[in-house]
Structure 1
């Protein structure tokens, strides 16, 4: 049902210039329809259908109590987590000034019709409070009957409700217009925006303004989604690259395909709550979770037998996962895995001993440790003579290296939240850790984008770096609030010296 069909209201519109006459007619229609007596006019189809749904939900036209879904102290947290929080400035800019001037309130709900924001003139808000038109209350049709917010969500189209078209009599003194807002990623309803006022204040064209504002909000959300897609691509392209020609695709956290190879046809969206999916062209693909999003891969029969080893070694708590199974991991075994990942052609026991212990290294000790490690991994994941990982390795520190080699500084920073194996004193690990940090730092300081510099400054590697914060204070625009944060942090670091 489109907006014109839903709002095709000859009775209400013809009398819009005389709200009191309009109210008198609509009240007679309301009373006659609900009592079953002959009516001078029929309600609009959108109203008649909404009344039927509301009455089927056992809404009492004489009971005006909308349910309290969130207590006042809960609303702020719900707002902060809601996707429409990002477009609130846009909604305010377009609607709130008009609401103030014409004695209306602007309302934003979630997809269930719960009011999350209500803003407008104080005197009108004080009249809205006693009838439950306030934050935290539920305004779906199932909760309070026909109203612009709930009905717009029910029919998924913009709606204007005039005075006595509300099912509940308490709201016959109000007129409101609302339009739904959709998630540009999934197409799902996110909520509705509404402008409400007393029956003699709302212009019939208000619904068009509200609908245009909803469309602008969706456009803003779409641009934000595209920006987030770009960030996700920057961070996760190394995962796609490591497939080395094997068919695969990158997915968003909702399963939308944002990058893929050219082999075969890829769907727009993939279910991510399963481990395997069947593609439209008959290929079977595996869904592998990443730190953000998913990797979809179509394996050959030989690749399917090759285990996957995922190493997360940047920071204090290294983890290793083999084919989805987390391994018990000591620091020494993490060091061995890191060194073997850094040397894909393999290392002898003597080479490993030197890299782990220096000149005092004992190959016999290393062989015993690797024997236990191979027992955990399985023989198909590691071979001997030399010791070599034959699993497909996905290591966070290697992803940082690849991003740097590709000139992707933003990707390297995003993939490097902390140094490699912080607690390790092994000579080779310490050297690799220092070189990786130095390489990322040099790339960041030479990069023109202050966003990359800011991201690096929030990491464990960059948060205590004076040079980084000196660059931030000079590169961030004067009006950017992060500049004040960077200046304060720089002053604190200099004071610590």
Structure 2
């Protein structure tokens, strides 16, 4: 069985005898593990290696060294109590999709001597099922219910690393930063809430080194996408229910009004063109609020959502400050302050966090082709950039203008950066973000 199909690149700056190793998929698991152990040791000792780790692993190792994670010994965090575990399960939307994950993965994991592990967005193990023998082996690693498998606690792994980089990752043998995990291979894929892009957690398939197959990561990623699709179906059903309640209410109103769910998705409108979604403050309450895309609104409750009635007479309240917070490795937000409108915060998707960061570094503006080059290294991908910025302007309204894209001149923009450059949007593969990480290194 092939140990992994992961591509590896050699250092081009080495001596002419450097091995240009394109793949290790032809090796058995023992050979691959031995090679990776040498790569890891070279990285830890600061030596030049003939073979470099994959970028996602190399960047994770850099974060681990900055965070002071011990590469030689594992660290056991406090387990959640039974009560805490049950409370997290009840509060997590992952509970709704556990039947999907079980049906698709548990029987496969059991037969292949693997286990399926589902964690929340903090890396806490909420569910763990599969082969009983492997479950007992996992206990010896602290891979238990309620354990914290965040990257900053146990190092590079198939749960914590996908949570940081927000994409599927397979971590094979010595790619794990902590040596005690080298006998394992983990394949994890993040799961996001389709309603707001919020990271919900990760589903992972783990097992002993010699049982892992290179196709495991593709399987796990496909199941994660299936689970997100089920959440999306449930959301559509909930919007239909809200629409049936809101329609007769809106029919009796004059002026502009919109019925939205608690995430701002539109169920029905009157007196205005339909918009898919409106950004809402985190703590929306009855009374009056100001939204960049609507102005001042009267807020009333509906079963499963809100009724927003646009007040036509009051003057729109101009925001004067935008605070972009990209200091955390997994969650990012934009806060709008000033002009008497109070303060409200919107959690950002990974792509929107990238775009707003790039715009904050180009206060004089950036064209669509320039942003496409910054994001993808391809200036022709302007359609994607324009579509994403159109979504951003739904919650920032007139604070962003175009031709070129930029924050308005009268807005004060503050960016809260992470303490270490390596933690700047660690999920991002955008060339401009990667260059910003390198440029800020001491």
| TM-score (normalised: structure 2) | 0.63
- Is the counterpart of residue 286 in structure 1 residue 290 in structure 2? no
Residue pairs, 1:345-494, within 5 angstroms: none
Structure 1 residue 9 displacement after superposition: 4.2
Greater shift in the superposed pair: 31-40 or 163-172 = 31-40
Task: Indicate the residue corresponding to 2:82 in structure 1.
Answer: 72
- Is the counterpart of residue 248 in structure 1 residue 257 in structure 2? yes
Q: Among 195, 204, 220, which residue is 1:210 paired with?
A: 220
- Is the counterpart of residue 276 in structure 1 residue 289 in structure 2? yes
Structure 1 residue 294 displacement after superposition: 0.8
- Are residues 44 and 96 of structure 1, via their aligned partners in 2, closer, same or farther at CA, if it must alter by over 3 Å? same
Contact 2:6 2:25 (8 Å CA) reproduced: no
Q: Among 188, 193, 216, which residue is 1:178 paired with?
A: 188
Task: Indicate the residue corresponding to 1:137 in structure 2.
Answer: 147
Residue pairs, 1:9-20, within 5 angstroms: 9=8, 14-15=24-25, 17-20=27-30
Contact 1:105 1:196 (8 Å CA) reproduced: yes
Task: Indicate the residue corresponding to 2:413 in structure 1.
Answer: none
Q: Among 187, 204, 207, which residue is 1:197 paired with?
A: 207
Structure 1 residue 239 displacement after superposition: 3.3
Number of aligned residue pairs: give it. Answer: 295
Structure 1 residue 203 displacement after superposition: 0.5
Contact 2:37 2:174 (8 Å CA) reproduced: yes
Structure 1 residue 140 displacement after superposition: 1.4
Structure 1 residue 38 displacement after superposition: 3.0
Contact 1:232 1:292 (8 Å CA) reproduced: yes
CA distance in 1, matches of 2:114, 2:237: 34
CA distance in 2, matches of 1:7, 1:287: 52
Structure 1 residue 227 displacement after superposition: 1.0
* Higher strand content, 1 or 2: 2
1:108-167 residue CA offsets vs partner (Å, 9 max, x unmatched):
111111111110111110010121111111111122110011111111111111100000
Task: Indicate the residue corresponding to 1:151 in structure 2.
Answer: 161
Contact 1:195 1:210 (8 Å CA) reproduced: yes
- Is the counterpart of residue 296 in structure 1 residue 308 in structure 2? yes
Aligned-CA RMSD value: 2.3
Greater shift in the superposed pair: 66-75 or 28-37 = 66-75
- Are residues 198 and 268 of structure 1, via their aligned partners in 2, closer, same or farther at CA, if it must alter by over 3 Å? same
Instruction: Compare relative contact order (CA 8 Å, sep 6+) and give the higher one, 1 or 2.
Output: 2
- Is the counterpart of residue 260 in structure 1 residue 272 in structure 2? no
**3-state SS in 2 of match to 1:148:** coil
CA distance in 1, matches of 2:82, 2:37: 34
Contact 1:19 1:199 (8 Å CA) reproduced: yes
CA distance in 1, matches of 2:194, 2:260: 16
CA distance in 2, matches of 1:15, 1:290: 56
Contact 1:15 1:21 (8 Å CA) reproduced: no
Q: Among 4, 21, 43, which residue is 2:31 paired with?
A: 21
- Are residues 99 and 278 of structure 1, via their aligned partners in 2, closer, same or farther at CA, if it must alter by over 3 Å? closer
CA distance in 2, matches of 1:9, 1:214: 26
Structure 1 residue 40 displacement after superposition: 3.1
CA distance in 1, matches of 2:273, 2:308: 13
CA distance in 2, matches of 1:206, 1:141: 21
Structure 1 residue 82 displacement after superposition: 1.1
- Are residues 225 and 90 of structure 1, via their aligned partners in 2, closer, same or farther at CA, if it must alter by over 3 Å? same
- Are residues 45 and 178 of structure 1, via their aligned partners in 2, closer, same or farther at CA, if it must alter by over 3 Å? same
Task: Indicate the residue corresponding to 1:116 in structure 2.
Answer: 126
Task: Indicate the residue corresponding to 1:37 in structure 2.
Answer: 47
Contact 1:250 1:296 (8 Å CA) reproduced: yes
Structure 1 residue 235 displacement after superposition: 3.1
- For structure 2, which runs of at least 5 residues remain unmatched after alignment? 10-20, 315-442
Contact 2:266 2:277 (8 Å CA) reproduced: yes
CA distance in 1, matches of 2:156, 2:268: 44
- Is the counterpart of residue 50 in structure 1 residue 63 in structure 2? no
CA distance in 2, matches of 1:239, 1:26: 64
